[in-house]
A and B are shown apart, each in its own frame.
Chain A
């Protein structure tokens, strides 16, 4: 009957998103008067999950699952859900979780609500609030299936510590060859950079920066803040920056704690993509740029003068607050 949560890990360590979905699952379990079971695949130290309210961890280990396979992972979670009799399954919004969730939904004949931003509004009928129209709106979705899958938006709920301790047990799901028919042959991932999905802070540049050769200061600013770098659609279309940095309606959604936009005018599609970020800052020399209507803080000024000063002052701030 417990709430099942899939706690994702990378390189044997739980991701921040894993702790967030665990925190969320704990509160859902409280609402439903039950406990939280996590399922982890080659995951980290299970006691860490206890800190975020997990009561029991089903630990799946094995070389076969050392590279991600959506079908195999969905199969693992399905078998864990059945073992636990879970009626609610919580996953995150990482690329991998969004990949496996629809497969899991069919496996469990469960309704699936993605991009959920808050605790269920009611348990009966089961209603959750999610974003729609790429953050231009929210909708409340009623789920009528026996089993429900909730895909929680990154950074929507935050981390909530609990005093509990998690017990752990080995879990050995049965997997078939069919689970591995999509075989990963190469992973190309910059390990020295923060990804947009994992970042607390994102620094983004637009056409106002005039050319790819001027991205050094964006990288520097991101470096001081431990931030990920991003860009607007025209910048990626012109090939100044890779597609993977394009944020907005047809690019990546960004739901971060702090979003700093430099030389980005703020087209409606861009603003939709970053709307779920908590604090927004804009630096632009055009006071009429639409971004100023969407931002919390703004500087009307030349980015080429403002950003270097900001980097310098932030370095001082960081060394004083280290």
Chain B
């Protein structure tokens, strides 16, 4: 089985978010970039398939040279090859078209992306890649088993979960649950050394339209002071929630 894991290069979850150039650009100053957490769960599941079922695992990112350390980290975790599509990832549809080309050229059986990236939260790329390549698609995937070309996938739905069966080729929008938090791997020194020698291929983008563009950013209005209520007077909290906040 040939697996491709799509890796987004995103600010660490603890990052403070700021903007520059008149609030038109994300301020990367002092920001640590990581593998998108939803993608990392998928990558770790892919490692499981590699070790237990003999799959090969490639990783891909659509982005500039600054994203290569993130791809190297994926190689250090255990991926075999990395591909970087050399263009700025500004629009989900555009990124999906680039990835669809990589998927078709590489003849992958299983493509795992994240349910969404934690920067733009578009939540569209895996589904679009599926529609563009004609592969099957399961979103918000929290369980994945492959036997031959038959797949059993579990998806998180509102208030529960849903199990389905389908066939490869399959594209998955993954998240926590594909593996547990405790299964995530921190690259060891040997992995990091080996990652330096693994192939990282840079390919040029195909021509495609940009369908959407983030033109302006803003931060939420600053929060007012919290209203404190005495622990001996919870009735006051109920009154405030009823009369002032109108929330109950």
Contacts and interface: CB of A to CB of B under 8 A. Distances in A.
A123 interface: no
A268 B13 contact: yes
Interface string B150-169: 00110111111111111100
A137 B217 contact: yes
B22 interface: no
Contacts of B248: 201, 225, 258, 314, 317
B164 A183 contact: yes
Interface in B50-81: none
B121 interface: yes
Contacts of A181: 136, 166-167
A159 to B, nearest CB: 15
Contacts of B223: 293-294
B187 interface: no
B245 A112 contact: no
A137 B226 contact: no
B136 A182 contact: yes
Contacts of B192: none
Nearest to B242: A317
Contacts of B85: none
A159 B14 CA distance: 34
B228 A300 contact: yes
Given A105-B124, A300-B228, A145 B211 contact: yes
Interface stretch (A25-33, A164-172, A188-196, A211-219): A188-196
B136 A141 contact: no
Contact of A101 (B127, B157, B158, B224): B127
B35 interface: no
A185 B164 contact: yes
Contacts of B237: 281, 297, 299, 310
B189 interface: no
Q: How large is the interface on A (under 10, 10 to 19, 20 to 34, 35 or more residues)?
A: 35 or more
The DSSP consensus for interface residues of chain B is mixed
B229 interface: yes
A298 B226 CA distance: 6
Nearest to B127: A102
A177 interface: no
A246 B181 CA distance: 12
Interface size bucket, B side? 35 or more
A98 B123 contact: yes
B242 to A, nearest CB: 7
Interface string B101-122: 0000000000000000011111
Nearest to A200: B247
A305 B158 contact: no
Contact of B160 (A105, A195, A246, A272): A195
B210 interface: yes
B166 A244 contact: no
B37 interface: yes
A250 B176 contact: yes
Contact of A269 (B13, B19, B96, B166): B13
Nearest to B125: A102
A105 B213 CA distance: 15
A68 B162 CA distance: 10
Contact of B161 (A244, A269, A297): A244
B230 interface: yes
B210 A144 contact: yes
Given A246-B176, A282-B226, A310-B237, A187 B160 contact: yes
Contacts of A127: 215
B93 interface: yes
B117 to A, nearest CB: 10
Given A186-B162, A187-B162, A250-B176, A107 B131 contact: yes
Nearest to A278: B247
Given A136-B219, A298-B226, A103 B137 contact: yes
A112 B92 contact: yes
B191 interface: no
Interface of B: 11, 13-14, 16-17, 19, 37-38, 92-93, 96, 118-128, 130-132, 136-140, 142, 152-153, 155-167, 175-177, 180-182, 209-220, 223-224, 226-231, 234-235, 237-238, 240-242, 245, 247-248
Given A194-B159, A237-B182, A321-B242, 17 more contacts: A102-B92, A102-B126, A112-B93, A114-B123, A132-B121, A139-B120, A140-B216, A141-B215, A186-B163, A189-B157, A196-B159, A293-B226, A296-B224, A299-B229, A299-B231, A300-B231, A301-B231
Interface of A: 68, 70-71, 74, 94-96, 98-103, 105-107, 110-115, 127, 131-145, 151, 181-190, 193-198, 201, 225, 237, 243-244, 246, 249-251, 257-258, 268-269, 272, 275, 278-279, 281-282, 292-302, 305-306, 309-310, 313-314, 317, 321
- Which 6 pairs show the lowest CB-CB distances between chains A and B? A195-B159, A102-B127, A301-B231, A189-B160, A106-B131, A111-B211
22 contacts: A96-B157, A103-B130, A105-B124, A105-B127, A112-B93, A138-B219, A141-B212, A182-B165, A188-B160, A188-B161, A189-B159, A195-B159, A198-B158, A237-B182, A244-B156, A258-B247, A281-B241, A299-B231, A299-B234, A305-B231, A309-B234, A321-B242
